[in-house]
Amino acid sequence: MAKQSEKRYSQYCRNNLTFNVIDSGPIDGNPIILLHGFPETAQSWQATSTILNQQNFRTFAIEQRGYSLTASPKGRFQYALTELVADVKSFIDLLGEPVYVIGHDWGSIVACELAQQYPNLVKHLILVSVPHTGAFLKSMLSSTQILTSYYIGFFQLPFIPELLFKRAKLLSHIFLKNSGMNAEQIKDFQQYFIQENRIGTAINWYRSMPLAPISSTFKKVKVPTLFIWGNKDIAVGKKSAQLNKQFFIGPYQEVHMDATHWIPTQNAEQLSQYFLNAVN
């Protein structure tokens, strides 16, 4: 792999789609790919990036498919997990060297699949809030996780979820507040997802879930991994977190924090320190 990371990136292209990137920190710093979740953008990594940049890490927060306005194809088939992973891999190929990968929420799922498919590209995998898909699915058979995840079924409906988010502002505000989001995060959601109309393509990540490759659903990860979960997370239950270690055969560490689902935004300092402890 030819190393080409001695330049700044604000965008990159794959298959006629243009993805935004927030590239910060020392240009010769150790590279970290940051993958956001739903419903957030690459901006959600700002506080974490600032801390890691001060520790000589260069961070690349990628605005993923359906979130970058110039990378938002129509139709759920465009959001298959294989495509989401290929989007990230294409950027790592541009850098030309292995990277650290930190994923939150849906970004965690993409990061985990990337590590399964291309372990040589990932120095250390950090999953935040959402565990391995196998642990999540297994917990549905042995806990209340299936009830907690009711919204996944709702998001399979065409048009209706988008209409509710756009027209029923109070309802969406209550939904986000109950998830643990603070006022600033809810304000960002209204700007990025409602005013700038990203909500439909973001929800397509959920609608593409049936397209996920069965072969990797319970496949174990070999790369060094750190899993961070918050005990106030209402989207991912304790059972999911407890089962996660079963799906890793490489070096594995786990941290349960006193936190909500939104760790990168609300607990950036702790997240950064756990990362530094794991990789140093």
The mean pLDDT value for 105-122 works out to 97
Q: What's the pLDDT score for residue 32?
A: 98
Question: Which DSSP symbol is given to 120?
Answer: G
| Cis amide leading into 39 (omega within 30) | yes
Q: How far from 250 is each of 168, 215, 223, 229, CA to CA, in Å?
A: 46, 19, 5, 19
Q: What's the pLDDT score for residue 195?
A: 95
Q: What's the pLDDT score for residue 1?
A: 46
Q: What does the block give as tokens for 218?
A: 């319970």
Residue range 192-224, pLDDT digits in tens:
999 999 999 999 999 999 888 777 789 999 999
pLDDT at 183 over 50: yes
Residue range 15-29, pLDDT digits in tens:
999 999 999 999 999
pLDDT at 2 over 60: no
Dist CA 84 CA 105 (whole Å): 14
Nearest partner of 17 among 64, 76, 80, judged by Cα? 64
- Dmax (CA) for the chain in angstroms is 51
Residue range 37-96, pLDDT digits in tens:
999 999 999 999 999 999 999 999 999 999 999 999 999 999 999 999 999 999 999 999
pTM of the model: 0.96
Output phi, psi for 182, to 5 deg: -90, 175
pLDDT at 135 over 60: yes
Number of residues written out for the chain: 280
Three-state DSSP class for 213? Answer: coil
Mean pLDDT computed over every residue of the chain: 95
Q: What's the pLDDT score for residue 169?
A: 86
The DSSP element (H or E) to which 152 belongs, if any, is helix 150-154
Instruction: Enumerate residues 6+ apart whose C-beta is below 8 A from 118.
Output: 89, 92
**Does the 11-147+212-279 domain belong in CATH 3.40.190.150?**
no
